[in-house]
Structure 1
Amino acid sequence: MAILRCNKCGHVAEAPTEVIGTSIDCPACANPVPVYDTVLFVRKVLQQYFAQQDEIKRLRATGEPTTATPRGADVAPLATLDIHNTDHLASEEWHRQIVSWFQRRQIQVRPSLEAVNTTGFFDEIAVEIGDNHDLLGDVVDKIRWGQQKDVPHFSLKLGERSQKEGQAINAFCKRLYEHTFLAKYFYQKQDKIGRATIQSVPAIRAFFAGEWLEWYALMKLLAFFQQKGRPFSCTRNLSVVFPNEDLHELDVFFLVDGNTPICVECKTGEFRQDIDKYLKLRKRLGIDRSQFILCCTGLADEQAAGLSGMYELTFVNPAGLSAHIAKLF
């Protein structure tokens, strides 16, 4: 048995068993929606329902207001949420539990609500880059270099790649153009050269300057905890103000089961000079070393393991992020 629920129009319907795990068009509005195994879907809904009931009982027992449970912990939305196309997370209610967690530690926070709005294309492109960084990293580097040097054009000699790699890079650049991440893109088929013009919009510049890795970490953890059926809330670009008025910004922060923090700091450039800063920040937040993660591009697995052994922090590369989270949960 299979089931679908459209995040856009709310339509619920049965679906063919053979399409479980894929997306099909909603019968009511034609919006692409994921198809779930019915038993698994119901199990996840029940898990979140009972977890929410336990949380309500706990809050009543301690005298805390039950409204502290965020709208993000509602049963149906999390299980059926299309995480790549929703503004459900961009609300004060969704962030309420995170704000309360910090307040109990006498730390003030200022959430950036729109930083978790996935109705645009930042999240999809970021996941594509992160999952294929060995192949697509050169494109990202060319865009970033052009932005830094105010060089508006770049070219890609795809003939120097294997046919499969060249086709994949060309298709990726076409998607960048279609979603306005590039101002222009043209593929000269005869010469096998891709020619692009960089987009100058500030949001796009920030994305290629490093924000893509923040989006990648956010979406990977979102997908993981949704699949596991664990209650959670999350945020990105969270401003943290300590009692002495020291200000920091956390790239990606998750609160799982209402009390387990996960902090991911994302570095696409040099990180070595910031290690001491992150060590002090982790201790001030009171987060276990396994839950305070530096996700750095360019790190080999052996380097990441070695650095994690040297310092009271966890180092991973983008490919190792999901594996580390899976070990914790």
Structure 2
Amino acid sequence: MALLRCNKCGHVAEAPAEQIGTHTSCPACGNPVPVYDTVLFVRKVLQQYFALQEELKQLRPAPTPSSPTGNSLAGIDLHNTAHLTSEAWHAEIVGWFQRRQITVRTSPDAVDTTGFFDEFAVEIGDNYALLGDVIGKIRWAQQKDVPNFSLKLGELSQKEGQAINAFCKRLHDHTFLSKYYYQKQDKLGRATIQTAPAIRNFFAGDWLEWYALMKLLTFFQERQKPFSCTRNLSVIFPNEDLHELDVFFLVDGNTPVCIECKTGEFRQDIDKYLRLRKRLGIDRSQFILCCLGLGDEQAAGLSSMYELTFVNPTGLQGHLAKLF
């Protein structure tokens, strides 16, 4: 497939494929014009378009916190909004990848906070030392297809037992557990797991993605910085390699922050993430592996060993504060 464009009269027309790389006469004015491969021509035009778009963006004044331009979440309840699901919200992210000849597919439902996934994710992440055993029991029951599990709350302090019992009641109230009741005399909590796929995925590891998303949303909202974000972003490279990014933020329209969340083993994936970071062209400080159960010293040691940044959930916002 080929085309020609006359620089003299502006005429554009298709041409036979065998004429690619040669010159022919313009059908409108007779001026000699080159014949291009259509795909190559369109690609060059798009590169120039995105380059001019980026130059224009740099020339525009930065939006203020009260400005209607830019992605601002001022005044929005982060835990109850569908604002992040729109095409307009994702537009800057899509454009950032397009300028690198990378195709992306967004997952709008993965950033819809009108449900309860985000609230429970933050509660779990902020109190994992207390609630981790509950999450572990739910996950074990899911993996083994065991419908029920129990919690020996009498073995805990009174305060901890009450907190876990209240947490499990809330899980049941919001359908994260199918059944839950507390045997006061035996101080025993008995629960039945929820089999709905969305709930299974949440306890299988999605909760940490929600946690990272909400922590970054809060961080940038408090600092009134313009940004876009998404979760479960499918990335397709020119050679058709497909990857999914857990959490992706684009700050000030140009600074990417990519977070991969691991609630289980991560060591076998280090090389994969190293290659992915380099292909995306993201600085090591902005490509973050958020790993559950990782100590602060271990995270710092791994970060110095590899061209990646390792953090645990509680260290996520501290690392962001160093970047921004």
- TM-score, structure 2 normalization: 0.79
Aligned-pair RMSD on alpha carbons? 2.0
Distance in 2 (alpha carbons) for counterparts of 1:60 and 1:197 = 53
1:209 counterpart (204, 208, 214): 204
| Counterpart Cα distance in 1 of 2:296 and 2:231 | 26
Where does residue 62 of structure 1 map in the other structure? 56
1:130 to 125, 134, 139: 125
Question: Residue 172 of structure 1 corresponds to which residue in structure 2?
Answer: 167
| Distance of 2:275 and 2:202 partners within structure 1 | 27
1:141-179: CA deviation from partner (whole Å, max 9, x where unpaired): 110110010001000001101111111111111110111
Counterpart of 1:245 in structure 2 is 240
Aligned to 1:266: 261
TM-score by length of 1: 0.78
Query: Match of 1:156?
Result: 151
Tell me the equivalent position of 1:192.
Answer: 187
Alignment match, 1:285? 280
Instruction: Please tell me whether residue 304 in structure 1 is matched to residue 299 in structure 2.
Output: yes
Structure 1 unaligned blocks of 5 or more: 1-57
- Residue type at the aligned position of 2:247: V
Structure 2, unmatched stretches of 5+, are 1-51
Shift of 1:62: 3.1
Structure-2 separation of matches of 1:270 and 1:76: 35
Task: Note closer, same or farther for the CA distance 1:242–1:318 as it changes in structure 2 (3 Å cut).
Answer: same
Task: Describe the SS at the equivalent of 1:80.
Answer: coil
Residue 321 (str. 1) matches residue 296 (str. 2):
no
Q: Partner of 1:187: helix, strand, or coil? A: strand
User: 1:229, CA displacement in angstroms?
Assistant: 0.3
Q: 219, 222, 227: which is aligned to 1:227?
A: 222
1:13-162 alignment to 2 at 5 Å?
59=53, 62=56, 74=69, 78-162=73-157
Residue 75 of structure 1: how far off its partner (Å): 6.6
Deviation at 1:74, TM superposition (A): 4.4
Equivalent residue letter for 2:200: R
Q: 1:327 offset after TM fit, Å?
A: 1.0
CA spacing shift, 1:185–1:73, aligned 2, 3 Å: farther
Residue deviations 1:275-305 (CA, integer Å, cap 9, x gap):
0000000000000000000000011111111
Report the CA distance shift for 1:282/1:63 in structure 2 as closer, same or farther (over 3 A). closer
Number of aligned residues: 267
The AA in structure 2 aligned to 1:318 is P
Quick one: which amino acid aligns to residue 327 of structure 1?
A: K
8 A Cα contact 2:72 2:224, kept in partner? no
Question: Displacement, 1:268?
Answer: 0.4
C-alpha distance in 2, partners of 1:79/1:63?
A: 22
Seen in structure 2, the aligned counterparts of structure 1 residues 116 and 262 have a Cα distance that, compared at 3 Å, is same
Residue 61 of structure 1 deviates from its aligned partner by: 5.8
Alignment correspondent of 1:17: none
The equivalent residue for 1:4 is none
**Secondary structure of the equivalent of 2:240?**
coil
CA distance, structure 2, for counterparts of residue 121 and residue 280 of structure 1 = 35
| Contact kept in structure 2, 1:252 and 1:263, CA below 8 Å | yes
- Counterpart of 1:54 in structure 2 is none
Rg bigger for which structure? 2
**Mapped partners of 1:103, 1:61: distance in 2:** 15
**2:69 and 2:220 mapped to 1: Cα distance?**
14
Flag the 1:163–1:109 CA change in 2: closer, same or farther, 3 A. Answer: same
